[in-house]
Amino acid sequence: MSEISSSRAMATPLIAGIAVAVTALAGKYGIEAWQAFKTRQAVPTVRKYYEGGFQAVMTRREAARILGVRESVAQDKVKEAHRRVMQANHPDAGGSDYLASKINEAKDHLLGQSRGSGSAF
């Protein structure tokens, strides 16, 4: 029994030493990773969605952004984009009346049509 307890007594400091060494190495690599993270070059972020409200008078640029197309796009692409965006935001499908009116206004603006004063809101 004394041999077993003496081997346990010797193993305990060894395990503690290994644990301290592992902790020190993890800390070292953690600090190095943090320093590399802080000194990395800033990568420009590309925003997928426009973060702003609507303009008082709709421009061609705003209309293109609403529909997700370029400003100089063919009429069939405008109609296709309008259909896709309207399906996602239609009031009958849980969308907003206001957004639907802005989507329709954007389509009309890009197609060169006019519906009176624009948005109903």
pLDDT at residue 116 in the model: 52
Is the pLDDT at 16 greater than 80? The verdict is: yes
Cα separation, 7 vs 10, whole angstroms: 5
Is the pLDDT at 3 greater than 90? The verdict is: no
* pTM for the full predicted model: 0.54
User: Is residue 116 left, alpha or beta, with left meaning phi > 0 and alpha meaning psi from -120 to 50?
Assistant: left
Query: What are the CA-CA distances from residue 38 to residues 20, 26, 43, 44, 107 (Å)?
Result: 27, 18, 13, 16, 45
| Each residue's pLDDT tens digit, 27-72 | 999 999 999 988 888 776 666 665 667 888 888 999 998 999 998 8
Is the pLDDT at 84 greater than 90? The verdict is: yes
Q: Are 73 and 110 in contact (CB under 8 A)?
A: yes
